[in-house]
Amino acid sequence: MNNELKQLVCKLQEELSLSLAEYEYLIENRTSEIAEYLASKAVEVKKNIYSNAIYIRGLIEISNICKNDCFYCGIRRSNKNCDRYRITKEEIMECVREGYNLGFRTFVLQGGEDSYYTDEILCDIICCIKKEFSDVAVTLSLGERSKESYKKLFDAGADRYLLRHETANEEHYKKLHPEEMSFKNRIECLHNLKEIGYQVGCGFMVGSPYQTNKTLAKDLKFIEKFKPDMVGIGPFVPHKATKFANEGAGTVELTCFLLSIIRLIHPSVLLPATTALGTIDSSGREKGILAGANVVMPNLSPISVRKKYELYDNKLCTDAESAQNKKELEEKMKKIGYEIVVDRGDIRKEF
């Protein structure tokens, strides 16, 4: 094995940090051999903290209405072929009740930036969930909002917030988003969320258009400095109604390599094997776990809307991706030596 690369992996494991140039070098020169070595270290670190537990989150896609026009996203405002929907508080509560009975103790309310969901409406929903189920965590993934709004939602009982930074390089950010969206605001949102007290998740797509090993190195450096509690990464997958329709998808291989690096940077981080990873490869989820991930987020949305939340082509929402098929997921995890637990799955802070 290339000794230089091996030493970089050891340095990362010991110091939880590399320079930008070192991250870039490691990505640029990776081989399957070093990827295996890196994954074995990542799994070792993960198991020391979380043993063989896999945390699950019930993902409820509350609306595909979005005011933004991100170039990569299937539910972007200008996609006129998108069949728009939003679900009611009662429908959300039904999903939560069903999920609770299935053993979910975290619910992720995710949606486009839909102005229907005022602070008042969201606070009411969050309070309702918390009142009926005192032992669950509520995660929000509803895009950019004001600090005041984030604070109100937190005070209403929201525990966590996912907001992918998408890329830590401002030039790259501009190539993925229309002019009215700002990199600075996105990063500011992440800092605001942390300041308020949320457990915060950032993340990015792997293989997005114009991404380079340099921009990836910046993403890793950002994660190192920001110290998020969660990091969501998954391959970019083109969507037919976007300007990136003909771009290539990201790979399982690079996604897994980056999952391992992120695990070593931040040993206790909550790291999902994402739906996108499961979409481009039928054993993608398992590969993600074996590279260092420890979370899966099955779909708990009402069946009638599932197909409509199409961020990218052929997004999985059936089989083990569906919360109702938890048994199938359990078996898949068991086969690779892991166990799904009934637990809120908070980050372990003591390590």
Give the span between the Cα atoms of 53 and 55, in whole angstroms. Answer: 6
Which run of H or of E encompasses 176?
Answer: helix 170-176
Q: What are phi and psi of 210, to 5 degrees?
A: 70, 5
Q: Output 76 or 105, the one with its CB closest to ligand 5AD.
A: 76
**CB within 8 Å of 80: residues ≥ 6 apart:** none
Nearest Cα to Cα of residue 338 among 303, 279, 295: 295
Query: Among residues 11 and 174, whose Cβ is nearest to ligand 5AD?
Result: 174
Residues 221-260, mask of contacts with ligand 5AD (x by CB under 6 A): -------------x-xx-x---------------------
Binders of ligand 5AD among residues 256 to 315 (CB under 6 A) are 276, 311-312
Q: Does 160 bind ligand 5AD (CB under 6 A)?
A: no
Of 159 and 219, the one with the shorter C-beta distance to ligand 5AD is 219
- Looking at the Cβ atoms of 243 and 334, the one nearer to ligand 5AD is 243
Q: Are 101 and 136 in contact (CB under 8 A)?
A: no
Binding mask 89-118 for ligand 5AD (x = CB under 6 A): ------------------------------
Per rule CB under 6 A, is residue 205 in the interface with ligand 5AD? yes
Of 214 and 240, which has the nearer Cβ to ligand 5AD?
240
Minimum distance, C-beta of residue 66 to ligand 5AD, in the bound complex (Å): 10
Residue 15-34 contact track with ligand 5AD, rule CB under 6 A, x = bound: --------------------
Name the phi and psi angles at 177, rounded to 5. Answer: -135, 150
166 lies in the binding site for ligand 5AD (CB under 6 A): yes
- The helix/strand/coil state of 214 is helix
Q: Kind and range of the H or E element at 288?
A: helix 284-290
Considering the complex, state which of residue 133 and residue 236 has its C-beta at the smaller distance from ligand 5AD. Answer: 236
Q: Are 295 and 219 in contact (CB under 8 A)?
A: no
Q: Is 161 in the site for ligand 5AD (CB under 6 A)?
A: no
Size of interface with ligand 5AD, in residues (CB under 6 A): 12
Distance between start and end Cα atoms, the chain: 31
Distance CA 193, CA 142 (A): 12
**How near is the Cβ of 276 to ligand 5AD at its closest, in Å?**
5
Three-class secondary structure assignment of 187-207: HHHHHHHHHHCCEEEEEEEEC
State the chain's maximal CA–CA distance in angstroms: 58
Residue closest to ligand 5AD (Cβ): 312
In whole angstroms, how close is the CB of 75 to ligand 5AD at the nearest point? Answer: 8
Binding mask 45-74 for ligand 5AD (x = CB under 6 A): ---------------------------xx-
User: Strand pairing partners for 183?
Assistant: none
DSSP annotation of 77: T
Q: Are 147 and 192 in contact (CB under 8 A)?
A: yes
For ligand 5AD, the closer CB: 237 or 333:
237
The CB-of-36 to ligand 5AD minimum distance in angstroms stands at: 26
Q: How many C-beta atoms lie closer than 10 Å to residue 313's C-beta?
A: 15
Residues that bind ligand 5AD (CB under 6 A): 72-73, 164, 166, 205, 234, 236-237, 239, 276, 311-312
